[in-house]
Amino acid sequence: MKITPLDIRERQFKLRFRGFDVREVDSFLEEIANAVKVLIQSRKALEDKISTLQAEIREYKEREVSLTRALQKSHSMLDSMKENAQKSADLIVSEAEVRAERILNRAHNRLAQLHEDIAGLKRQRIQIEVQVRSVIEAHSKLLDAAKEEMNAAEEEYSKLKFLKKAP
């Protein structure tokens, strides 16, 4: 049961023989009523403050929940971004390895082709050297044969000259 200052002020007591001094009781009741009034006002102010603080606490808790969700979402996004970045990096490395492998294969093929070309050129050089030697030898033989013919012709010419002089 709630007692208000008005209840205290309006409270009536039965008088009895040799009872209390009515003015003293009324004065005391008035003091109590004023004290209760102050207490009620103080209580009302405290209840208002409690309500305000509870509203602020609810608001802070809602903010905390929102911030927690946002933080969890950002962690999730960060993890997802890290995972995607790692996947991209792995893909780039894989592609680079494939390209490097292709380049190496082409380089090896080109190197093999160059070795074949060099071997072919060496064979051609040897064939050309053999052909040139043969041509030189053939010309040398021809020169020798021509020299012999010249010598034989000179001998015959000398003989003819000698025979023409003799008569």
Q: Are 30 and 6 in contact (CB under 8 A)?
A: no
**Number of C-beta neighbours around residue 35 at 10 A:** 12
Q: What is the DSSP string of 98-135?
A: HHHHHHHHHHHHHHHHHHHHHHHHHHHHHHHHHHHHHH
Query: Two tokens at 25?
Result: 């009781």
Per-residue pLDDT of the chain (167 residues; tens, 9 = 90+): 577 778 777 777 777 777 777 788 888 888 888 888 898 899 999 999 999 999 999 999 999 999 999 999 999 999 999 999 999 999 999 999 999 999 999 999 999 999 999 999 999 999 999 999 999 999 998 888 888 888 888 888 888 777 777 65
Residue type, 131: Q
The answer to whether the pTM exceeds 0.85 is: no
Q: Are 7 and 32 in contact (CB under 8 A)?
A: no
